[in-house]
Each structure stands twice: as C-alpha cells, then as structure tokens.
A and B are shown apart, each in its own frame.
Chain A
C-alpha cells in the first residue's frame, strides 16, 4: 500500500511557489483528506508519507523554511502533553496545532467559567460550563484533522501522571497553582521528559525549560515543601489577555525548539522574564 500511496502522492502533488520564488511540490488539505479515505488511513499517514518523499503539505507552507521538511516531519511524529487548558494552554494548543505537532495529549479536569472569558481562547459564551479538554480537542481537530488528539478530562495527579505523559517528548506546564506545577514537574522528572513551564500575573510573566536532571522550579519558587501559598500575586493582579498570549507564544516556541533538538537555544536553568508595564524582557540566570 505504501509504495502505491507514495507514487500517487508524487503524481498528484502540485508545485507551489515558496516565498523565495522556488517551486516545491505540495499536497493540499483536500488532497490529504481524499487520499486518507481512498487508502483507508488517516491524514497523518498521508502527510508523513508526503514529507518522507520531499512533498510539503500546503498547510505548513508558511512554516517553510524556518522548518525544513525534516523538521516538519519531526514535529508531525512528536507527542506533547499540554497540562492545563486555560489561558496559557489554550494559546499553546493553538500554536502547536498550527505548527503541526502530530500528537497532543490535552489534560484538564476543569470546566469553563465566566471569568475565563477575558483571556482563554478556548472559552466562548456557548462553552461556559463545558469541559476545557473537550473544547481543546475539538479546536485542534478543526484546525488540523491530520493530528492525533486525546482529550483527558481529569487533573494530572501523582497517580495518573505516568499514563497521561507516557511516550511524550515534551510536557507543557500551563497550570495555575504552584503546588500543581511541582506535581507535574515531579511526574515528568520520573518519566524522564523535558518540561516547559510558564506563569503569569498581571503584566508580568516568565518561562523556563526543565530537563529531568535540572533543579527546575525550586529555583523559581523555592523548595516545594516550603511553599506557603498555592497561588502567586495573580490573586492580586489578575491574568491579563496580552500577557497570557505573549507568554504562551514564547512557551510554544520553546516547546518547538525542544522537539527540534535545538538544545543550545533553550531556557534551561534560565528564566525569560517579561514585564509589559516597564517593557522589560530579560533572560535571567537561575544558577
């Protein structure tokens, strides 16, 4: 089947002009859907076969050449867990889906409430009271039906963590309490998976990347056992839409860099701090 699929893809691929003027063979969304039905397979198989044979699904055309064909293939074969699908998670989901990350585990036991509407892209009036993980999965499928998307309507705990992050290449911490962030960090360290963590309050936010052998979040929040409060100053300052969108976008870029193996460009043992009130953007060294 694969050799037949390969030759059909090569025959139907249409050359499209790249931003630099070069012509590259591409496959449209409609062609991908048609071939998936014809071969009784899924869109991802069609896209993987295309990319392996030098053909770019047109949906990724504007990722090119920042992502070359092998980068795009690597993203499509990647699995990422997004933990928390509120402000940060909703935006991270949007960018990872559009970037073409092939498998997303979407984890949140929460439901939408009115006060989510100011910043959470997945939260719309008609969704109030419904599960965040289901809204996230639906959004991802509407954007890119070639992806594998799992909705987990449960909170990540020490008990279910191993199952929920199994075989993931990166876990994204988009949570909203400090103890739950430590719980996710403990789980991914046990599983040996990198974590990209971000947090916001008012016009301030920060992002860091933690590999299993790194000290990680204790460098930002102090040791977990010394935590006095579950929340930070967001209880006073709130969570503002531009901060959430910006910090989540930086977090998404960091996830993609981890997936593409750009290890020397990560925020390991560092924290990118953004303060939109004073227009301060600085990479701070945590050790």
Chain B
C-alpha cells in the first residue's frame, strides 16, 4: 500500500491544501523540502514545519503515517 501523511496547512498556506489532505500520498523517504515543492508553497512561506508535533528542518525524511503541519510566519499583535 502507498504511504500517506496527514497534512495540515495553516493560515495563508491553507489555500495550498490538496484534495484528501488527511491521506496525502507521498513517496517513502521523500524530504519535507520536496513535499513543500510538490505543494507549490514558496519556500520562504514555509517557516515552521512540524512532524508529529515536533519542529523539523527541510531535510527531514517522511516515511508515511506522519502528521505534518506547515506554517507561514505569523507576527501580528
């Protein structure tokens, strides 16, 4: 069976949310950077990335089954 992730894109990135984001298909071992590219999110907008609730960097590899959250910078008051 193909690997999937549970993907959540927040704030302005929500517009990039793909169909069936909770079962988004990935290639096992792909990096977070590659995922962001596939989703057509400008790298500067993907400021904070969490995998299973823990902050990760762009080189982190996904194996399927993870919860992935991506945030743009938020700075208002």
Residues of A within 8 A of B72 (CB): 201, 232-233
Query: Interface on chain B toward A: helix, strand, loop, or mixed SS?
Result: mixed
Contact B10 A204 (CB under 8 A): yes
Look across to chain B and name the residue whose beta carbon is closest to the beta carbon of A177: B75
**Contact pick for A285, options B11, B53, B71, B74, CB 8 Å:** B53
Please, which residue of chain B has its CB at the minimum distance from the CB of A243?
B76
Judging by beta carbons under 8 Å apart, are A178 and B12 in contact? no
* Residues 43 to 70 of chain B near chain A (Cβ within 8 Å): 44-45, 47-48, 50, 53-55, 69
Asked if A204 meets B53 with Cβ closer than 8 Å, knowing A233-B11, A236-B12, A277-B14, the reply is no
**Which partner residue on chain B sits nearest A203 by CB separation?**
B11
* Residues of chain A from 233 to 287 with CB closer than 8 A to chain B in the complex: 233-234, 236-239, 244, 273, 275, 277-278, 280, 282-287
A12 is an interface residue with CB less than 8 A from chain B: no
> Does A202 have its Cβ within 8 Å of any Cβ on chain B?
yes
Which of B53, B73, B77 makes the CB contact (< 8 A) with A233?
A: B73
B53 and A178 within 8 A (CB): no
Q: How far, in angstroms, from A177 to B48 measured CA to CA in the complex?
A: 17
| Range for the number of chain B residues in contact with chain A | 20 to 34
Is A137 close to B, CB under 8 A?
A: no
Number of A-B residue pairs at CB separation under 8 A: 95
* Chain B residue nearest in CB terms to A286: B55
In the complex, which of the residues B14, B69, B75 has the most CB atoms of chain A within 10 Å of its own CB atom? Answer: B75
- A221: B residues at CB distance < 8 A: 47, 73, 75
What CA separation (Å) do A203 and B13 show in the bound complex? 13
- The one of A84, A88, A219 in contact with B55, judged by C-beta atoms closer than 8 angstroms, is A219
Q: Is the CB of B55 within 8 A of A199?
A: no
Q: Which of A171-187 contact B (CB under 8 A)?
A: 174-178, 181
B8 touches A (CB below 8 Å): yes
CA–CA, A283 and B75, complex, Å: 18
Contacts of B55 in A (CB 8 A): 219, 284-287
- A50 → B minimal CB distance (Å): 36
Q: A220-B48, A278-B8 are in contact. Are A206 and B53 (CB under 8 A)?
A: no
B77 touches A176 (CB 8 A): yes
Contact check, A86 vs B54: say whether CB atoms are below 8 A apart: no
User: In whole angstroms, how far apart are the Cα atoms of A277 and B8 in the complex?
Assistant: 12
B50 and A181 contact, CB distance less than 8 A: no
A89 to B76, CA, bound (A): 11
CB of B76 within 8 A of CB of A201, answer yes
Does residue A228 face the partner (Cβ distance < 8 Å to B)?
Answer: yes
Told that A87-B76, A275-B10, A275-B11 touch, could you supply 9 new A-B pairs with CB distance under 8 A? A87-B77, A175-B77, A198-B77, A199-B75, A221-B73, A221-B75, A233-B72, A237-B12, A284-B54
Q: Which A residues are closer than 8 A to B by beta carbons? A: 84, 86-89, 174-178, 181, 198-206, 219-222, 228-234, 236-239, 244, 273, 275, 277-278, 280, 282-287
Q: Which residues of B pack against A, CB within 8 Å?
A: 8, 10-12, 14, 44-45, 47-48, 50, 53-55, 69, 71-77
User: 4 nearest interchain CB pairs?
Assistant: A234-B76, A232-B75, A232-B73, A176-B77
